[in-house]
Amino acid sequence: MNNFAPAEIQVVRYYLANLYTLEGAVPGAGGNLDTDQAAVWKHNKDEVRDRSQLFDGWGRRLCGFIDVPPGSGLGVRGPGLSMVV
């Protein structure tokens, strides 16, 4: 990141802020796992999976922006680098 332009650093910070929020929402979704249906509201049984996929997608987009191949932690198989933030 030492060679990034100020505008590029702002984009990376934007991604990191969103990733932080999305990452925290994944375990938080576990609080809803006991509810299947209440009144007319029905819990999304795939909420944890959906939130995990959203988080992984943002991680892959960040890797694409900074031109770093995503690693196996982002659901990509095969050789590659893992990004550590």
pLDDT digits (tens, 9 = 90+) for 36-72: 666 677 777 888 888 888 888 888 888 988 888 887 7
pLDDT of amino acid 75: 63
Residue 42 falls within a domain, yes or no?
yes
Q: Pick the closest to residue 23 from 67, 55, 57 (CA basis).
A: 55
Specify the pTM.
Answer: 0.56
Question: How many domains in the chain?
Answer: 1
Which domain does 64 fall in, by range? Answer: 6-74
Residue 15 falls within a domain, yes or no?
yes
Residue 67 falls within a domain, yes or no?
yes
Residue 68 falls within a domain, yes or no?
yes
Beta-bridge mates of residue 38:
41
Task: Render pLDDT for 38-47 as a digit per residue (tens, 0 to 9).
Answer: 667 777 788 8
How far is residue 72's CA from residue 34's CA, in Å, rounded to a whole number?
30
